[in-house]
Structure 1
Amino acid sequence: MKRKLLFGERMLLGDGTEPFNAVIPFRLRGVFSEEDIQYALSRLQEKHPWLRALIQYDEQNVPWFQIPVLPVSIPVRIIQRQHEEQWQEESKQEWHSAFDYTATPLIRFVWIKGEEVSDMLFVFHHCLCDGGSAMALLYEFLKVLDNPAADIGLENPIFGIQDVVPAHILQNGKKRFKAKAIGRLAALAIKCIPVSKKAIDRQNDYLIHWKLEETTSKQLISLCKSSGVTVNTFLGATVLEAFKKVRGSAAFNKVSCPVDIRRFAPQIKDDHIFAFGLMIVMASNQKISFLDNLRLMQDEVEYKTAKLNPYITMMVMESAHDALKNFTKLLKQGKSSNDCMFSNLGRIQIPDQYQEFSLETIFSPSVIGPLGNTTTMVTSTYRGQMDFSFVGSEGYLPETEALAIRDEIIARIRQQLDYQEAS
């Protein structure tokens, strides 16, 4: 079983010399055996073919997911748990550890083993799956870890663009011509954009993590509902204000926000292993009040989201494989135009109580790679608490400024909640 990598997957894969890894950390209270963990991971590989896949190149040097005759198990690294923040240290180590993807799968597992409490990390190459896929895998892993006989089904995997884009669109002559024309124009434009001779030196990478208290999280959700805006828009606006306050004229007043393709393409199921993302950009009007700006931003977000067309986007990208090298070069060496990537996974609907253990928390995933500005903020809500992972590199955003931005975000959330309470 094999399939060619799509354009976006090839871009994330790169040439294999620079890791582009996502880490999903979580904390369990209970006692486990290595055999139980290995078995649960093997069940994931049984269900999801691409978790068994390696990367192989054909004679044109095009990469393919290919499942070997004798599949390789998901590697497990076990270390003794020494302190509460150890998962952050291990996350950073995993960012920088490249996958030997011609010999091992594009997924591995870290068990920070404690007597009563363990922290565990799923680590994926970002070309394998997105945040939605990762949460589905975590749900299935915990289900089997608790009950080895649990039924998690079998995935009907995606083999290519034909499994995502409906045939009446993919085979439509006008749409195919439009996609190819856009792809050609984009390829030409990318080739003409001037870039630096070398990429910015990232220097040291860092991870800043924090949680909001459950009461604060509930109050924030309530504020957003009463204001007629989503939590995503509220937090995006708050992030923009924090960057402006801390960075001044160096701030871009732009954050890029991933949009789950599953909202628009029902062919992609929640448990599909897939890594294609859609994107919108948020900006704020800094001449009006925060609340007035929120409503304008919400309208803009809804307008931009409604215009997203995953099918045409995929067709455009698949027509531009020959532009991959120039596009990657632009991302690596072009000037940054966004303050950060901001991703809100929303409420994670995974049970916390099991027969044999309890899931104390899921830390928001972190991801870092070589394609330009690494500044990324991921938030999620689990067991009523909002959780934030803020990733960056000194060469793009000094950690001292990132810490100040975190403090500003927390202060501005508190300020808006106090204002609501007072009014």
Structure 2
Amino acid sequence: MKRKLLFGERMLLGDGTEPFNAVIPFRLRGVFSEEDIKYALSRLQEKHPWLRALIQHDDKNTPWFQVPEITVSIPIRLVNRKSEDDWQEESKMEWHSTFDYQTKPLIRFVWIKGEEVSDMLFVFHHCLCDGGSAMALLYEFLKVLDNPAAEIGLENPILGIEDVVPEHILKSVKKRFKAKTIGRLAALAIKCIPVGRKAIDRQTDYLIHWKFDQATSKQLISHCKSLDVTVNTFLGATVLEAFRKVRGSSAFNKVSCPVDIRRFAPQIKDDHIFAFGLMIVMSSNQKISFLDNLRLMQDEVERKTAKLNPYITMMVMESAHDALKNFTKLLKRGKSSNDCMFSNLGRIQIPDQYRAFSLETIFSPSVIGPLGNTTTMVTSTFRGQMDFSFMGSEGYLPQAEALAIRDEIIDRIRQQLNYQEAS
């Protein structure tokens, strides 16, 4: 079984020399054997063909996912647990470790082993899967780890764009012409945009983590409902305000927000291994109050989201493979135009109690790569607690400023919640 990498996957893969890795950390209370973990990982590979895949290049240097006849097991790295924060140091180490994708799968596992509590990390190359796929894999892994006989099914994998885009759209002369025209114009524009001679030196990467307790998280969600805005919009607006307060005129007043393609393309199931993303940009009106701004931003988010078209977007990108080199160069060498990537995974619906162990927490995933501004914030909610991971690099956003932005976000949220209580 094999398939060519799509445009977005090729962009994330690069030439393989620079890692673009996503890390999903979680904490379990219980006692485990390495054999049990190996078995659970093997079951994931049995279900999902692309977890067995290596990457091979054809005579045109085009990369393909290719499943070998003999499965190469998911590598496991064992670390002795010394502190509560070991998972952060191991996450940063995994960011910088490349995948030998010609001989090993694009997934590996880290077990930070303690006597009663273990932290574990799934590590993926970002070209393999997105956050939604990662959460599905975590759910399946825990299910089998608890009960080796558990049924998790078999994935019917996506073998190309034709498995995502409906046939009547893919074969439409009008839509194909539209996609190709947009793709050609975009390729020409990208080629003409001036870029620097070399990529920005991102220097030292860092990870900042914090969590709201259940009471604060519940109050925040309730506050957003009372304002008739989503948690995503509220947090996005707060992030923008925090960047403006800390960075002043250096702030861009823009955050990029990934949108799960599964909302628009039902052909992509929750447990599909897939890495294609849609995106909208959020900005705020700096001349009006925060609350007035929230309502305007919510309307704008809804308008932009409604206009997203995953099918045409995929067709446009697939028509522009010859522009990949120029596009990658633009991302690496072009000037940054947004403050950060902000991704809200929402409520993670994975059980926390199992027969032999308990899932104490899921830390929000972290991801960092070589394609331009690395500043990224990911939030998720598990067991009623809102969790934040804030990644960045000194060359784009100094850690001292990132810490000040974190403090500003926390303070602004608490001020809003206190104001709600008082009113």
TM-score range for the pair, normalised by the shorter chain length: over 0.9
Cα shift readout 1:50-85 (whole Å, capped 9, x = no counterpart):
000000000000000001111100000001000000
Tell me the residue number matched to 2:296: 296
Number of the residue aligned with 1:122: 122
Amino acid at match of 1:127: C
SS of the counterpart of 2:258?
Answer: strand
Aligned to 1:150: 150
Which residue matches 2:10?
10
Which position in structure 1 is the counterpart of 2:250? 250
CA distance, structure 1, for counterparts of residue 293 and residue 160 of structure 2: 41
| SS at structure 2 position matched to 1:222 | helix
SS of 2:388's partner is strand
Task: State the partner residue of 2:335.
Answer: 335
* Residue of structure 1 equivalent to 2:161: 161
Point out where structure 1 has 5 or more consecutive residues left out of the alignment: none
Residue 108 of structure 2 aligns to a residue in which SS?
A: strand
* Aligned-partner residue type, residue 109 of structure 1: F
Give, as a single letter, the amino acid of the residue that structure 1 aligns with 2:340. C
Deviations 1:182-202 (A, max 9, x none): 000000000000001000001
Scaled by the length of structure 2, what TM-score is found? 1.00
Q: Which residue of 1 aligns with 2:66?
A: 66
> Aligned runs of 1:217-296 on 2, under 5 Å?
217-296=217-296
Deviations 1:90-128 (A, max 9, x none): 000000000000010000000000000000000000000
Shift of 1:319: 0.2
The 2-side partners of 1:386 and 1:287 are apart by: 30
For 1:16-415, what aligned pairs fall within 5 Å after superposition? 16-415=16-415
Please give the secondary structure, in 2, of the residue aligned with 1:97. Answer: coil
How high is the sequence identity, in percent, across the aligned residues?
87
C-alpha distance in structure 2 between counterparts of 1:121 and 1:138, whole Å: 10
**Separation in 1 of the partners of 2:123 and 2:223?**
35
Question: Within 2, Cα distance between the matches of 1:264 and 1:213?
Answer: 33
- Corresponding letter in the other structure for 1:243: F
CA separation in 2, counterparts of 1:174 and 1:286?
41
Partner SS for 2:79: strand
Structure 1: distance between partners of 2:160 and 2:422: 54
Cα distance, 1:391 vs structure 2? 0.1
Distance 1:362 1:69 in 2: 34
What do residues 293-347 of structure 1 show as CA deviations (whole Å, max 9, x unaligned)?
0000000000000000000000000000000000000000000000000000000
Aligned-partner Cα distance in 2 for 1:351–1:70: 33
Query: In structure 2, what residue type is equivalent to 1:59?
Result: D
The AA in structure 2 aligned to 1:58 is D
Matching residue's letter, 1:95: W
Instruction: Measure how far apart 1:238 and its partner are.
Output: 0.1
> d(CA) in 2 for partners of 1:165 and 1:136?
22
The residue identity in structure 2 corresponding to 1:352 is D
Structure 1 residue matching 2:109: 3-state secondary structure = strand
Residue 213 of structure 1 deviates from its aligned partner by 1.3
5+ residue gaps, structure 2, are none
SS of structure 1 residue aligned to 2:305: helix
Aligned length in residues: 423
Could you list the per-position Cα deviations for residues 151-175 of structure 1 after superposition, in whole angstroms to 9, with x for gaps in the alignment?
A: 0000000000000000000000000
**1:228-276 Cα deviation digits (max 9, x unpaired):** 0000000000000000000000000000000000000000000000000
Q: Secondary structure at the match of 1:110?
A: strand
Report the Cα offset of residue 9 of structure 1: 0.1
Note the C-alpha offset of 1:348.
0.1
> Scaled by the length of structure 1, what TM-score is found?
1.00
User: What amino acid sits opposite 1:245 in the alignment?
Assistant: K
The 1-side partners of 2:301 and 2:224 are apart by: 15
Q: Distance in 2 between matches of 1:108 and 1:126?
A: 12
Aligned-partner residue type, residue 345 of structure 1: L
Deviation string, structure 1 residues 10-65 (Cα, Å, up to 9, x no partner): 00000000000000000000000000000000000000000000000000000000
The RMSD of aligned alpha carbons is 0.3
In 1, Cα distance between the equivalents of 2:206 and 2:370? 14
Separation of aligned partners in 2, 1:112 and 1:135: 19
SS where residue 24 of structure 1 aligns? strand
Tell me the SS of whatever aligns to 1:123. Answer: strand
**2:107 corresponds to which letter in structure 1?**
I
Q: Distance in 2 between matches of 1:166 and 1:326?
A: 29
Secondary structure at the counterpart of residue 236 of structure 2: helix
Tell me which stretches of 4 or more aligned residues in structure 1 moved more than 6 Å.
Answer: none
What CA distance in whole angstroms lies between the structure 1 residues aligned with 2:332 and 2:27?
Answer: 34
